[in-house]
Structure 1
Amino acid sequence: MKRNPLLSVILLCLAISAFGQADTTAAKNDTLSRFDSFNKKMEKIFKYSPAPIITYSSEAGNTFGLAKFNVFNLSKKDTISRPSKLSEVVSFSTKGRINISISNDLIFNEDKWMILSYFNYKKTPEYILGIGNDVSLDNVELVTIDRAKFSTNILRKIAKNYYGGLSFDVSDYFGVELDSNSFIIRDNVPGQYGGTDVGIGFAGALDSRDNRYNAYKGALLLTTLTFYPKALGSRYEFAAFYIDGRKYFNPWLKHVVAVQATASYNSGTVPFYDLAQMGGEDRMRGYYKGALRDKVLVDAQVEYRMPVWNIFGLTTWVATGRVADKFSNLNFNGFWLSYGGGIRIRVDSEHNTNLRLDMGFGPGGVSGFYFNFAEAF
């Protein structure tokens, strides 16, 4: 789970160099004007051209790819709807990983409708420590699985800041490769042969954020309840509930304190690849997503975001979380710790959207580097 982020070191040096140069010439308006002019040119490049991804991790090896992120208004005539988003990522690694993702937030008709969709294909040799919270970082098992997934939430405004609607999810898991001594085979864990998910359910949101992609104030409460019955074509019959609460405080100037707490609950015959998974690029950063998994997951994080100079900013956070087979088995002794910090570079001044570079850590040598657009939450 240790990561050696070559890109983070390079970009950190560039950011420090740029900041240091600007600090010694801050009084020179002509230099500042040249810097602002350069920023505008770079924003145009980010608007039309993808950004390269070059990272290294022990799990994936060297990863190369392209990432694209755009915030825009669907209609120039619609001055009420908040900006929409389109994000794409394509990456390949030297250890056989493939990841192709397209996601969108489409907001239209004077903010009355939101369509939030996600498509992903991935071929991922991934590391699993087991199922449950009482696992060891030394007991790592490699599992390879292919996945094609499409999900969408269609939401209609019910009242001010309140939305409700339907959720759909169709996924296919195939090409599962397990070690002959895998606990998944030994314990006859559902999902060892792959399968199809077809789910339908309900989604609701309370969203008062001033900016969906870099909030300074407001709150978000998002809930989804999705059923996967065999009658619709699912191989395994189960249900998944998810709740995500966020609150943003602006104590002074443009500094932000952001708080998030989430909970997941799965019931029924849940295949191992659909269990609630801890870690990733947005929550419990530093932990490889899915290393810890079970039917129940709870986590929370607090992040402090501060501007530094011009387009540059810094952030730091602390988080905690754990998994369990049921809520009654959650206890304070089993929570894992995540902490870290990152650099922010504004790439869209009109919509105040950042490029983020984060480095997350945890006890026992856990670490992870993340390159993405918009804030983690």
Structure 2
Amino acid sequence: MRILTLSIAILLCGMSTVRAQRQDLELIRGNDTLAYTYVPFDPSEMERSAAPSESAAVKRGFFHRIIDYFDRANEDRTFEKKIDFSIIGGPSYSSTTKLGLGLMAVGLYRTDRTDSLTPPSNVSIFAAGSITGFYSVGIRGNTIFRHDLNRLNYKLQFYSEPSEFWGVGYYAGAHHESDNFLENKASVDLRWTHRIARNLYAGAMVNFAYVTGSKFDDDKRSYLLDPSYPAAAVRYMNTEYVNTGIGLLAEYDTRDFQTNAYRGLYLSLDGTIFPKALNTCGGYTLWRVEFTAASYHRVWRDGIVAVELRGEFNSAHTPWPFMARMGGDIRMRGYYEGRYTDLDMMVAQVELRQRIWRRIGAVVWAGAGNVFPRFSEFRWSQTLPNYGVGLRWEFKKRVNIRVDYGFGRRTSGLVLQINEAF
């Protein structure tokens, strides 16, 4: 009887203090551990929440709802929703496409919402256009399957862009005048990997591209000379190509988040074969080898140093649309993409990323790059410098909108993009 009376007293005492109780619990499922805090529900709160407050009675205006939408956009809701989508749009500008307008939908999701240790997957659907006549539509992302055993990276894109072409090789980019032309490209890139050991992945990839170049100036057609032929044997490259490749890749990856790592190491090596039966590249079977090495370290509070080295090497007779192009919005930012074009390219960059206040951050970076037809013709004197500054705004959890302004040798340019450069 004493035990029963004591039990009832303890139960009543617990009910009277339920609002003050907090329970720290752990959910353990296999090797997956999720720690969380549970606050018991107080029935009296229902009555207070049922009564409409004065603020709730006043309908919020349109602009207030927009502010609230973006204010909550970076909350991690991937455990609650099948996919957490947010949409952003507005004006854009780059030295390549000039003033334009872009619209993007960004989604984060988990293939297994009981797996709290695997980072979320992401997908971006984008469309853009500019006053130069440029337009682009596409989708890209990476899907990380349960327990990170398999990964699928993909990008599908079509664009039409008034472009400039200086020719092939360092000398052409440094000394030639540019030729204006219209480039159209449809491309598909799929990469699948399977984890074969801790942090080690291996897999296969498939890519397809259809490229056309038109409206070249007739007096500058010499820019399309095939660099793999001796000067005495003039051979012009075509202005329309279809190219299909299949390849293998290996990755070592300890990054905590693929598109915005705070820590970890990433090593990648892949090789692609473009069989002559699946391309229109002059009857040749082509190949390409690429490697990437990147590391990420926290150096102080909210300060990350990221370092990357990347190389791209193509076989002889590779046509101009598929050669290595320096510049753009990822590496050597500030250089017009394709001004320096050749069979091979090596690029290095180091970047300091610092969170400044809440969801706002800034970066500074420095880098260097070189294009060359083969290793025997690599020249240190032709190495191009690169540096710049940028601002960051966390649109979604670990997904940044970035504005970068880069500088190079007698060039500079503005970049507006989503996700970190590397």
Q: TM-score range by the shorter chain?
A: 0.7 to 0.9
The 1:41/1:97 distance shift into structure 2, 3 A limit, reads closer
Give the TM-score of the pair, scaled to structure 1.
0.84
Unmatched 5+ residue regions in structure 1?
A: 1-36
Quick one: percent identity of the two aligned structures? 27
Q: Which has the larger radius of gyration?
A: 2
Secondary structure of the 1:231 match is helix
Residue 244 (structure 1) aligns with: 292
In the alignment, structure 1 residue 163 sits paired with structure 2 residue 201: yes
Secondary structure of the 2:277 match is helix
Given that 2:166 and 2:223 are in contact with CA atoms closer than 8 Å, whether structure 1 keeps it comes out as: no
Alpha-carbon distance between aligned partners in 2 of 1:87 and 1:169, rounded to the nearest angstrom? 19
CA distances 1:20-63 after superposition (whole Å, capped 9, x unpaired): xxxxxxxxxxxxxxxxx997631545864432242345643431
The 1:185/1:201 distance shift into structure 2, 3 A limit, reads closer
CA distances 1:155-208 after superposition (whole Å, capped 9, x unpaired): 111111111111101111135332101223566666423111010011111110
Given that 1:191 and 1:273 are in contact with CA atoms closer than 8 Å, whether structure 2 keeps it comes out as: no
Unmatched 5+ residue regions in structure 2?
A: 1-64, 75-83, 227-233
Q: For 1:109-124, what aligned pairs fall within 5 Å after superposition? A: 109-124=146-161
Residue 328 (structure 1) aligns with: 376
Alpha-carbon distance between aligned partners in 2 of 1:318 and 1:52, rounded to the nearest angstrom? 29
The letter of the residue matching 1:117 is Y
Give the TM-score of the pair, scaled to structure 2.
0.75
In the alignment, structure 1 residue 129 sits paired with structure 2 residue 159: no
- 1:309 pairs, out of 316, 335, 357, with 357
**How far 1:87 sits from its partner (Å)?**
1.2
The 1:353/1:39 distance shift into structure 2, 3 A limit, reads farther
Which structure has more relative contact order (CA 8 Å, sep 6+)? It is 1
Secondary structure of the 1:110 match is helix
**How far 1:74 sits from its partner (Å)?**
2.3
**How far 1:345 sits from its partner (Å)?**
1.0
- 1:347 pairs, out of 395, 399, 403, with 395
The letter of the residue matching 2:223 is I
Residue 6 (structure 1) aligns with: none
Residue 139 (structure 1) aligns with: 177
Residue 248 (structure 2) aligns with: 202
Residue 10 (structure 2) aligns with: none
Alpha-carbon distance between aligned partners in 1 of 2:96 and 2:415, rounded to the nearest angstrom? 14
- 2:215 pairs, out of 163, 177, 198, with 177
- 2:118 pairs, out of 77, 81, 92, with 81
The letter of the residue matching 1:113 is N
Alpha-carbon distance between aligned partners in 2 of 1:333 and 1:185, rounded to the nearest angstrom? 25
Alpha-carbon distance between aligned partners in 1 of 2:369 and 2:308, rounded to the nearest angstrom? 12
Alpha-carbon distance between aligned partners in 1 of 2:356 and 2:224, rounded to the nearest angstrom? 52
Alpha-carbon distance between aligned partners in 2 of 1:298 and 1:144, rounded to the nearest angstrom? 27
Q: How many aligned residue pairs are there?
A: 338
The 1:261/1:50 distance shift into structure 2, 3 A limit, reads same
Alpha-carbon distance between aligned partners in 1 of 2:189 and 2:370, rounded to the nearest angstrom? 25
CA distances 1:103-132 after superposition (whole Å, capped 9, x unpaired): 110110210111111111011121122211
**How far 1:75 sits from its partner (Å)?**
2.4
**How far 1:329 sits from its partner (Å)?**
1.4
CA RMSD of aligned residues (A): 2.2
Given that 1:43 and 1:348 are in contact with CA atoms closer than 8 Å, whether structure 2 keeps it comes out as: no
The letter of the residue matching 1:93 is S
Given that 1:300 and 1:321 are in contact with CA atoms closer than 8 Å, whether structure 2 keeps it comes out as: yes
